[in-house]
Amino acid sequence: MKRGLILLFAFSFAFAFPLHANTIKPRSSADQLRKEVAAFFKSKDLTFLEKNVEMVSVSFLINAKNELVIFNVSGDDADACDYVKEVLNFQKVNYNSAKPLAKYEVDIRLVKE
């Protein structure tokens, strides 16, 4: 009898407070990281580019100090690749990675104005 009363009390307590499902999709963390890395080039002078638009792929990891450590930069224009590596290497980011020292790859679109 006592066990049944405790069980009934537990069920009534559990169903007394409704739980709401979170239907809002969280932002993709990779998308957030890509936007943060691309923001380093918002106000930069890109007049040295040969084409109006250059696509550059960057491979990096985030160290313990939340700094970008660049592994590889690839693209059609060697000057653009060197510039991206120079600007991004050891820049601090606000991104909190789930896995420490995980490798990331981001595509950056440089637009000459």
Q: How far apart are CA 113 and CA 52, in angstroms?
A: 7
The predicted-structure confidence for 61-90, as pLDDT tens digits, reads as follows: 998 888 999 999 999 999 999 999 999 999
* pLDDT < 70 regions, the chain: 11, 13, 17-28, 98
pTM, rounded to two decimals: 0.69
Residue 70, both tokens: 């660049």
- pLDDT, position 22: 57
- pLDDT, position 25: 52
- pLDDT, position 50: 84
- Asked if 90 contacts 69 with a C-beta cutoff of 8 angstroms, the reply is yes
DSSP 15-48: HHS------SPPPPHHHHHHHHHHGGGTT---TT
Say which CATH class 24-111 falls into: alpha beta
Spell out the domain ranges in the chain: 24-111
- pLDDT, position 74: 95
